[in-house]
Each structure stands twice: as C-alpha cells, then as structure tokens.
Amino acid sequence: MKSGGKLVCALGAAFFLTINFSARAADDALVWPPLPDTNTQAFAGTAKYETIFDAPDSTGKHFEIDLGDVRQSARVKINGKDYGTLITPPFRVVVDNLKPTGNTLEVEVTSVAANRIRDLDRRGVPWKTFRDINIVDLNYKPFDASNWPLTDCGLLGPVTLTAVTPISLGK
C-alpha cells in the first residue's frame, strides 16, 4: 500500500516513540529492534502503525488486507471498525468498509518479551523475583538471556490490498 503513516510505540511509562514512515517504500519493513536506539531494542509491548490510503474503486466491494510478515500478533482497524486480532499466519482479514479516499488503517502489533528480558539480563536488573521457584535454563543452570540475539518485532510486511468477491455457500 503506497501511503504515508507513522509508527507509535509506548516504551515504558516515560518514553514515547513516533517514527514517520511516509517516505518509505510500500514493501519496506518497519521493525523496531534494528532501530538504532537502545530503548527500541529493549521494547516489549504494543506498537501502533497508522496510515491513510485511497482504495481502488471501492464501491460495494470487499478487500483483503494482507499484513505480510508480522512479529508477533496484530490487531487491525479500518476506519474505526475493529476486525480483530490476528495471532498466526497468514495475517489477513477481509474488510468491507472502505471509502474511495481517506481510509485509515491502524495496526497494533504486540511483541513477545524476549528483547526486554535480554535487556534486563544484560544490565543486571533483577527481574526473576519469585518466592517459590527458581528460573533455570535447560541444563538447570541459572537462567541468563543476556546473550540472546535480538528478536524481530513489528510489521515486517509487505502490506497489500486485494479486491475479493464474496461467494454464497448456501442455496
């Protein structure tokens, strides 16, 4: 989908990130761990992607939005209508409320906590505070995620919009 938009991430209680990706190519991924600052590399939570786009001849038609590669789950809204949360590939949803122009696509992508756990262990922050259990690795050694590689998180795409024709399965 060729259009402009932004990525909004709430990174902890005091940090808020907005990245403008209006100049990005339609098939460019917007993944947050490779972003250069350490706050995005340590982020675990939900990032909201927003964009405004025009639909090709949308009168009375249904479209499939395919989000492409998503890490890890995605909640999809078009023009304020919530189409639910997609938790497994394919990350696709059929939408029926497109306007000829000015459609708003919102995708909230939620990541796993792996990058956050990695960051906490790298900084020596005590997070394994359980009273009745110890966290160990597969070899029953103290658990340490500090050497984990960064996990891709976000909307990797490409995001596509395809017209579809509904069919009736009954008489």
In whole angstroms, what is the distance from residue 154 CA to residue 73 CA?
Answer: 9
Residue whose C-alpha is closest to residue 29's, from 152, 114, 115: 152
Over residues 60-83, the mean pLDDT reads 92
pLDDT class of 25 with cuts at 50, 70, 90: very low
Over residues 78-94, the mean pLDDT reads 96
Q: What pTM was computed for the model?
A: 0.76
% residues pLDDT > 90 (the chain): 30
Residue whose C-alpha is closest to residue 95's, from 87, 106, 110, 108: 106
Q: Is 41 helix (H, G, I), strand (E, B) or coil?
A: helix
Q: Which residues pair with 106 in a beta bridge?
A: 50, 77
**Full strand arrangement of the beta sheet holding 73-78:** 15-20, 4-11, 46-53, 103-110, 73-78, 81-86
Work out the mean pLDDT of the chain and round it to a whole number.
78
Domain boundaries, the chain: 4-125+138-164
Q: What is the pLDDT of residue 35?
A: 59
Residue 121: pLDDT over 80: yes
User: 4-125+138-164, superfamily in CATH?
Assistant: Galactose-binding domain-like (2.60.120.260)
